[in-house]
Amino acid sequence: MGNLFRMEADGANIHQIDRNTLHSGHGCLLPDGRILYDRWEYVDRNFGDAQGLWSVNPDGTNHAVFWGNNTWSPGGVIDARPIPDSQRIVCIFTSCHDRPWGAMVVLDRRLGVDGAGSVVQIWPEHAIEYTKGQTAKSDYYGFDNFTRTNPKYEDPYPLNDKYFLCSRMTGSGEQMGIYLADIFGNEILLHTEGAGCFDPIPVGLRDKPQVIPARRDYKNEPGYYYVANVYAGTHMQGVKSGSVKYLRVVESPPKSYWTHTYWGGQGVHCPAMNWHSFESKRILGTVPVEADGSAYFEVPSDKFVYFQLLDEKKMMIQSMRSGTTVQSGETTGCTGCHESRLSAPPVGGKTPMALQQAPNKLDGWYGPPRMFSYLSEVQGVFDKNCVSCHDYGKEAGEKLNLASDRNITFNTSYNELWRKKYIRAIGAGPAPIQQAYSWGSHKSKITEKILHEHEGVKLDQESFERVITWIDINGPYYPSYASAYPQNLAGRSPLDNEQIDRLGKLTGVHLGQMAGFASNQGPQVSFERPELSTILTKNADKNSSEYFEALAIIQAGQKQLLQKNRADGTNFVACPLDQQRRGKYNLRRQTEQRNRQAIDNKTKAYDNRKQDDL
């Protein structure tokens, strides 16, 4: 997948201008000088409908939603271009699981930044039906509605507000031709050959877009965010003024590794990361929110981050389920949380309290920022306070087992808390913005138990924050996408596929079929205490040869983890392929730093293609 880069006309000074976890592309210039591009990212979002249009200044500052960030169908909005002498755009409504084609659409974002209400015209006309039917409780799979579009369109190019060039199916299978279409219903085939023709672009003079002055430097220094009033905006009903005490900044780092084998949870996890979502997380810290709801703070540049509002207990009230980036030296901000994109900031009035003082620095989270690991950050709380009762072989453990023992994909307590719905995290949640207080620690059963001091157990402040923060950043497990076992089940199992298959035959529990949460029967294997593995203790003859063979297989997994730990343990070493990927990524970063230094010095640097191809 790609991100947005910028370079000089002669190929000099290539540098990245966004830090999306996943993909950004198809950029074009708007008349006002901004870049319009399509983004695919899923911060606590379902993968299928998280593909909308965004805008950014050419220097990488002021990334902002343009259209469709919270729209369930279409699954993707791509190939957008501005229509001359209007405030409309033409684009393609497409699907997640399809080629980059679908319906051709004229959008007017003045009518709304989400949903069918801003569709002015669509080709073919019947495709408008594929945008309808969404409710907050709809399932997630509207993102493939536009696979049914016939004929399919690609690559629209507006000549004016009435005539458009595009690529369209000719009616001969999947062959594409160059068409001239108009708003009156006419479509004329101009040319086709072979498998098809694409990307029509007229050659001629065009008006030069405005030039936006740079708002950043290239010194790799922090940038600055402000929020004028966290209580202003949509989906904040019921949040009383003064209840927000802190704003937390969380990073969603890029995915640099993948495996063929995956965890059968929501979507395709390659390798397994979390129970119901895709991303790793890094908490950068919190800052205070002033009495008037304002906040002003420093954030490291070149990080893909999102914000959460916290109450006096550090429990999440509302969360941003998308990402943004600040550039070195940039100052950017918003009116409020989930503000209306069609309204202007208030004019006049008092300067927000936070902006009357120096920006706050992020205070970290029980140590310096690091990749969040469930075993390292949360499990110790349960080991200290809960496992004496909630363990294998204990009565309370039958109801909820909070032991640390690792299994095929995750560990026992993590599996139990998610599977038995003791936490209310959003997972790979739906496209619509969620109401404040609707998920997270405020809605989780385990939080209720903790606050009521279950069985007299009272957590200290740090232990309490570790549990609720884990829930509020969406219940992640692994700190890294890198894998030690890329060929094994979920990319995480120390047992190979042959051992998994044999263990299933010996016990009647087919682990390969139950990896995903939909069919998960609970933590069947304990690599730390093989003899306590549920797969062995239920309906097993402990004197049989099958029992001893099954036990030996699990013990082999235990030994394998001691020799080569996976990413949830200490002394983790990634597989050779992932190490090579990391080396290539680091080399690209070094080249970029050199290029940025050249920009800062007003000189030119050119990429070494042989070096970058390593």
Query: What is the rounded average pLDDT of the residues 262-280?
Result: 84
- The verdict on residue 180 lying in a domain is yes
Query: What is the rounded average pLDDT of the residues 424-453?
Result: 94
- The verdict on residue 138 lying in a domain is yes
Sheet of 153-158, strands arranged across: 153-158, 163-169, 176-182, 187-191
Q: Which of 149, 170, 191 is the last residue of a domain?
A: 191
Whole-structure pTM over 0.75, yes or no? yes
Contact status, residue 100 vs residue 88, Cβ threshold 8 Å: no
Q: pLDDT tier at 366 (50, 70, 90 boundaries)?
A: very high
Query: What is the rounded average pLDDT of the residues 389-418?
Result: 97
Q: Is the pLDDT of residue 301 over 50?
A: yes
Q: What is the pLDDT of residue 265?
A: 76
Pairing of strands 331-334, 223-227: parallel
Query: What is the rounded average pLDDT of the residues 466-483?
Result: 97
Q: What is the pLDDT of residue 501?
A: 94
Q: What is the pLDDT of residue 543?
A: 87
Count of other CB atoms within 10 angstroms of residue 502: 15
Q: What is the pLDDT of residue 529?
A: 98
Amino acid at 608: N
Q: What is the pLDDT of residue 514?
A: 54
- The verdict on residue 459 lying in a domain is no
Phi, psi of 319 (to 5 degrees): -135, 140
- The verdict on residue 62 lying in a domain is yes
Q: Which of 318-322, 475-479, 534-538 has the lowest mean pLDDT?
A: 534-538
- The verdict on residue 346 lying in a domain is no
Q: pLDDT tier at 511 (50, 70, 90 boundaries)?
A: confident
Count of other CB atoms within 10 angstroms of residue 585: 13
Q: Is the pLDDT of residue 137 over 50?
A: no
Q: Is the pLDDT of residue 59 over 90?
A: yes
Q: What is the pLDDT of residue 282?
A: 97
Q: What separation in angstroms does the CA of 179 have from each of 83, 184, 187? A: 17, 14, 6
Q: What is the pLDDT of residue 337?
A: 82
- The verdict on residue 371 lying in a domain is no
Q: What is the pLDDT of residue 417?
A: 98
Query: What is the rounded average pLDDT of the residues 85-109?
Result: 95
* Percent above pLDDT 90 for the chain: 82
> What's the domain count of the chain?
2
Q: pLDDT tier at 136 (50, 70, 90 boundaries)?
A: very low
Q: pLDDT tier at 139 (50, 70, 90 boundaries)?
A: very low
Sign of CA dihedral 49, 54, 59, 60: negative
- The verdict on residue 487 lying in a domain is no
Q: Which of 160, 191, 222 is the last residue of a domain?
A: 191
Q: Is the pLDDT of residue 31 over 80?
A: yes
Q: Which of 140, 160, 191 is the last residue of a domain?
A: 191
Domain containing residue 10 = 5-191
pLDDT tens column, 142-185 = 889 999 999 999 999 999 999 999 999 999 999 999 999 999 99
Q: Which of 38-42, 154-158, 189-193, 601-605 has the lowest mean pLDDT?
A: 38-42
- The verdict on residue 589 lying in a domain is yes
Q: What is the pLDDT of residue 77?
A: 96
